């Protein structure tokens, strides 16, 4: 997580949550501590960026969603992976499906409206390997699909990448592990 307020109090600043895999549980702990000790830091960030698992944390921050629900989704995915010999590489282990179910539970119905313009998700376009940042969402499903694409690690999560608005994407951390604006 990176935060910057270069001009002092009151200046606009952004937060960025890097790709981190299951270490996202650490990021959840940091966010929980900030909510307890300095909630204005999270609430006053003008933009919140996320790549890969960090995009899930960023979405939770922007939508003020339940971090406990998100943590439970991660822990359930780990439990499911441990049930098979091949772990998350087993065809019967669908880590992203578990996370997707958690997102539907965790995010409010108007999450796409709350997130649009403030949440910036890093994706890697399959066709040319270019980074794409998305920050406008037409529905809760649209937002969740962008988050799933940002977290999709080929082979680990499956062989066919998910699509967002008709284009296939993989993990945003491949091309922009710590997303931010060039202007910040």
The predicted-structure confidence for 70-101, as pLDDT tens digits, reads as follows 999 988 888 887 888 777 777 777 788 889 99
pLDDT above 50: residue 13: yes
Look at residue 3 in the predicted model and tell me its pLDDT.
53
Can you give 53-117 as a three-state secondary structure string? HHHHHHHHHHHCCCHHHHHHHHHHHHHHHHCCCCHHHCCCCCHHHHHHHHHHHHCCCCHHHHHCC
Q: Which residues are catalytic?
A: 52, 171
pLDDT above 50: residue 7: no
The total of other beta-carbon atoms located within 10 Å of residue 104's CB is 10
Reported pTM = 0.90
Give the separation between CA 46 and CA 52, rounded to whole angstroms: 20
Give the separation between CA 142 and CA 11, rounded to whole angstroms: 31
Percent above pLDDT 90 for the chain:
72
Tell me 22's DSSP state: G
Look at residue 158 in the predicted model and tell me its pLDDT.
85
Look at residue 8 in the predicted model and tell me its pLDDT.
53
Look at residue 6 in the predicted model and tell me its pLDDT.
46
Give the separation between CA 53 and CA 22, rounded to whole angstroms: 8
The predicted-structure confidence for 114-169, as pLDDT tens digits, reads as follows 999 999 999 999 999 999 999 999 999 999 999 999 999 998 888 899 999 999 99
Whether 31 contacts 44, CB under 8 Å? no
Confidence of residue 65 (pLDDT cuts 50, 70, 90): very high
As a whole number, the mean pLDDT across the chain is 90
The region of weakest confidence among 4-8, 61-65, 171-175 is 4-8
Whether 9 contacts 3, CB under 8 Å? no
Better pLDDT: 51 or 22: 51
């Amino acid at each position: 997580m990176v935060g910057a307020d270069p001009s002092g109090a009151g200046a606009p600043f952004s937060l960025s949550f890097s790709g981190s895999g299951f270490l996202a549980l650490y990021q959840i702990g940091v966010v929980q501590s900030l909510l307890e000790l300095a909630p204005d830091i999270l609430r006053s960030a003008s933009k919140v960026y996320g790549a890969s698992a960090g995009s899930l944390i960023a979405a939770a921050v922007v939508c003020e969603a339940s971090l406990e629900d998100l943590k439970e989704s991660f822990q359930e995915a780990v439990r499911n992976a441990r049930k098979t010999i091949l772990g998350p590489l087993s065809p019967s282990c669908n880590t992203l499906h578990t996370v997707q179910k958690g997102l539907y539970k965790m995010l409010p119905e108007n999450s796409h409206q709350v997130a649009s313009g403030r949440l910036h998700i890093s994706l890697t376009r399959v066709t040319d390997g270019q980074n794409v940042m998305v920050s406008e969402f037409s529905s809760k499903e649209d937002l969740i699909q962008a988050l799933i694409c940002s977290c999709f690690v080929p082979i680990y999560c499956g062989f066919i990448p998910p699509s967002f608005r008709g284009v296939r994407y993989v993990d945003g951390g491949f091309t922009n592990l710590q997303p931010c604006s060039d202007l910040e």
